[in-house]
Amino acid sequence: MSELPWWKNAVVYQIYPRSFNDSDGDGVGDIPGIIERLDHLDDLGIDAVWLSPVYESPQHDNGYDVSDYRAIHSGFGTTADWERLLEGLHDRDIRLVMDMVANHTSSEHEWFRQSRSTPEGEHGDYYVWREGDPEAPPNNWESAFGGSAWEYDDERGAWYLHLFDTNQPDLNWRNPRVREEIYDVMNWWLEKGVDGYRLDVVNLLSKAEGLPDGDPSGEWVGSEHFVDGPRIFEYLGEMHDEVFAGTDTVSVGEMPQLDLETASEYTGDGPLDLVFPFEHVELDFGDRGRWDIGEWRLPELKSILDRWQRGLDEEWWTTLFFENHDQPRSVSRFGDDERYRYESATALATIILTLRGTPFVYQGQEIGMTNSTFASLDDVADVDSVRNVRELIDGGVVKDYDAIRHVVEYRSRDNARTPVQWDDSPNAGFTDGDPWLPVNDDYPEVNVARERSESPSVLAYYRRLIELRASTPPLVSGRYNLHYPDDEQLFVYTRTGDNRRVVVVINFSADDRAIDLGPLDGSASLLLGNHEDVPESPDGAVDLRPYEARLYETEPRGSGPSESP
Ligand code: TEU
């Protein structure tokens, strides 16, 4: 495995600092709080941390609105704290991947202040400005958070583009000085020792010439003119050459609306190492898209994952994730967070950690944290949920909050952002103060301390799976083959390489299910399972309990897919 770059062998853990651990009782997580919990990461066995933005920010979008790329947000700590964090991680052989928000800044960034006050000055052209009628925005593009993507600025007497919140003006990537500023910032942190970047919405940097109107019936109006835009490969190629080339770092592009073919152009011989696609976490969208709940079925999930697994060639590499700070909790969404919380959380863990690609585990996922409750819109903190839900109510699409509460509780990004539950003390051990977002009510049952002492536990299973992956080369680099693609309950695949073969068998349903593993007879041995009392060697027909997952090692046979593993 040594010839693989480190990030192909790595399991990455995402920290959303606001919600991880609060050291000073102000109710907001911080960097010293992360340092207090480093042993938790070490025990889990992860190889790298992706840290959501910790730069200076007014926090309208919890740090994805950066007002100073070279300073640490005062509420999160100091540069010295950050240096201690980096050292603490590196001492434990854990790499640090920072988050770079290059599409937009905060409207409180000095560049934007200058840009709006002095159009003819050196920052005048740093953002996407258009003059014109203050009553009529320059085009029909929409913000991802609802409403027009344009805001009229009285000070400059012009419109500025914001694909996200009004406080997040888009940078003008056509301006070479803007690009240089961003590369300088990225190199500045690399020199301090960071091991790579997760690049926020990085396929949105290039906007179409002339900013034409978008198809008004589109899901995100205008997106055909700014997703994978005309100069995107030029910009990312330049970023690669200026920042990443010749370093032992990783670049992971977050890319809304990405399809497989375009993904293969961004990675491999392309400018980036990895991308985050979203197709598999959009299969439960309803008629109203994200703000609606659609039915999803296992064959569809398998088919999306299968397509991305096979990619376009042997060298293809992707990311594996069910959760991040923008997604609801996977056990509530794809599993059963009541009757089968342990079983379904570990079945999901099995998928993420045994497919081909680099797994990303989001904070709290390793203990099976669940979605929360939000009784009124006042309890919702997330700017994306608040704006979109307000727009639906104001537009008469839904009557009131109660009519859409079930969707918010299913989908809102706040579900991922409730504080990490460390123990059963008040506020789950997250803070001695008042948490910025209420702790999930289930913390007395779902918390790290309990997961550490109980058996079986989601945490113990994650730890064992991560260890198994690290010591089983076919689980990292082996070929992948799906079996039973149309089965409504079974998720079965093989990973073959290094003269070894692992069969992953998951009953992804709340019912018992028998499967004939006849051909494995005698030659198979159990590597790991999420249930106890499992025979070491399968004996023909195998009875799987709800959400039961097993990994067997067998003699490798022919490589072609067949119906029976
Ligand atoms: O998210 C990009 C993005 O596409 C999201 O806005 C997405 O539409 C939404 O979260 C629903 O899944 C990135 C960051 O991950 C997110 O936290 C930021 O709010 C956003 O960019 C703006 O920086």
Reported as a single tens digit per residue, the pLDDT across 84-116 is 999 999 999 999 999 999 999 999 999 999 999
Q: Dihedrals φ, ψ of 339, to 5°?
A: -70, -35
Q: Can you tell me which atom of ligand 1 is nearest the CA of 64?
A: 23
The rounded Å distance from CA 36 to ligand 1 centre is 28
In this model, does residue 559 exceed pLDDT 70? no
**Which of 150-154, 391-395, 428-432, 537-541 has the weakest average pLDDT?**
537-541
- Can 200 be counted among the known catalytic residues? yes
The rounded Å distance from CA 404 to ligand 1 centre is 21
CB 311 within 8 A of CB 318: yes
| Token code pair at residue 435 | 């948490």
Identified catalytic residue from 200, 273, 323, 451: 200
Q: Ligand 1 atom 2: the closest Cα is on which residue?
A: 201
* C-alpha–C-alpha distance, residues 255 and 263, integer Å: 9
**Whether residue 138 has a cis bond before it, omega within 30° of 0:** no
Specify the CATH architecture of the domain 10-90+318-349+358-374+416-471.
Alpha-Beta Barrel (3.20)
What is the residue-wise DSSP string for 263-328? HHHHSTTSS-SEEE--GGGSTTEETTEEEEE----HHHHHHHHHHHHH-SSTT---EE-S--TTS-
Mean per-residue pLDDT, 301-315: 91
In this model, does residue 26 exceed pLDDT 90? yes
Cβ within 8 Å of residue 395, ≥6 positions away: none
Q: Can you tell me which atom of ligand 1 is nearest the CA of 325?
A: 17
pLDDT band at 447 (very low <50, low <70, confident <90, very high): very high
Topology of 476-554 in CATH? Immunoglobulin-like (2.60.40)
The rounded Å distance from CA 447 to ligand 1 centre is 27
* C-alpha–C-alpha distance, residues 492 and 482, integer Å: 6
Reported as a single tens digit per residue, the pLDDT across 502-514 is 999 999 999 999 9
From 295, 177, 216, 199, select the one nearest 255 (Cα to Cα): 199
pLDDT (0 to 100) of residue 522: 57
In this model, does residue 541 exceed pLDDT 90? no
The rounded Å distance from CA 326 to ligand 1 centre is 6
Q: Ligand 1 atom 18: the closest Cα is on which residue?
A: 64
In this model, does residue 564 exceed pLDDT 90? no
What is the residue-wise DSSP string for 338-402? STTHHHHHHHHHHHHHHSSSEEEEETTGGGT-------SGGG---HHHHHHHHHHHHTTSSSSHH
Pocket test for ligand 1, best of 107, 163, 168, 201 (most atoms within 8 A of CB): 201
pLDDT (0 to 100) of residue 312: 76
* C-alpha–C-alpha distance, residues 219 and 288, integer Å: 9
* C-alpha–C-alpha distance, residues 54 and 72, integer Å: 6
Mean per-residue pLDDT, 539-563: 76
Q: Can you tell me which atom of ligand 1 is nearest the CA of 103?
A: 23
Residue with tokens 């910009």: 235
3 state SS for 170-203: EECCCCHHHHHHHHHHHHHHHHCCCCEEEECCHH
**Which of 241-245, 295-299, 308-312, 371-375 has the weakest average pLDDT?**
308-312
Q: Can you tell me which atom of ligand 1 is nearest the CA of 324?
A: 15
pLDDT band at 549 (very low <50, low <70, confident <90, very high): very high
pLDDT (0 to 100) of residue 557: 62
From 362, 342, 275, 285, select the one nearest 311 (Cα to Cα): 275
* C-alpha–C-alpha distance, residues 408 and 414, integer Å: 9
| Token code pair at residue 359 | 């797994």
Reported as a single tens digit per residue, the pLDDT across 261-280 is 999 999 999 999 999 999 99
Mean pLDDT over each residue of the chain, to the nearest integer:
95
pLDDT (0 to 100) of residue 3: 83
Q: Ligand 1 atom 20: the closest Cα is on which residue?
A: 64
The rounded Å distance from CA 198 to ligand 1 centre is 13
* H/E stretch holding 89: helix 79-91
Ligand 1 site residues, Cβ closer than 6 angstroms: 61, 64, 101, 144, 164, 200-201, 254, 256, 325-326, 384, 413
Reported as a single tens digit per residue, the pLDDT across 202-240 is 999 999 999 999 999 999 999 999 999 999 999 999 999
Mean per-residue pLDDT, 419-439: 98
* C-alpha–C-alpha distance, residues 401 and 389, integer Å: 8
* C-alpha–C-alpha distance, residues 199 and 86, integer Å: 19
Q: Ligand 1 atom 10: the closest Cα is on which residue?
A: 326
Q: Which pTM value belongs to this model?
A: 0.97
pLDDT (0 to 100) of residue 1: 44
In this model, does residue 155 exceed pLDDT 60? yes
Q: Where are the alpha helices (DSSP H) in 6-77?
A: 6-9, 31-36, 38-44
Domain residue spans in the chain? 10-90+318-349+358-374+416-471, 104-170, 176-317, 376-411, 476-554
The rounded Å distance from CA 526 to ligand 1 centre is 40
- Can 254 be counted among the known catalytic residues? yes
Cβ within 8 Å of residue 241, ≥6 positions away: none
pLDDT band at 560 (very low <50, low <70, confident <90, very high): very low
pLDDT (0 to 100) of residue 518: 65
Q: Dihedrals φ, ψ of 180, to 5°?
A: -60, -40
| Rounded (10°) CA dihedral 131, 136, 137, 138 | -60
Topology of 176-317 in CATH? TIM Barrel (3.20.20)
The rounded Å distance from CA 253 to ligand 1 centre is 12
Identified catalytic residue from 228, 254, 326, 548: 254
Specify the CATH architecture of the domain 104-170.
Alpha-Beta Complex (3.90)
In this model, does residue 563 exceed pLDDT 80? no
Compute CA distances 199 → 114, 145, 274, whole Å.
Answer: 25, 19, 10
* C-alpha–C-alpha distance, residues 442 and 447, integer Å: 9
Q: Ligand 1 atom 12: the closest Cα is on which residue?
A: 326
* Domain 176-317 identical in fold to domain 476-554: no
Mean per-residue pLDDT, 317-342: 98
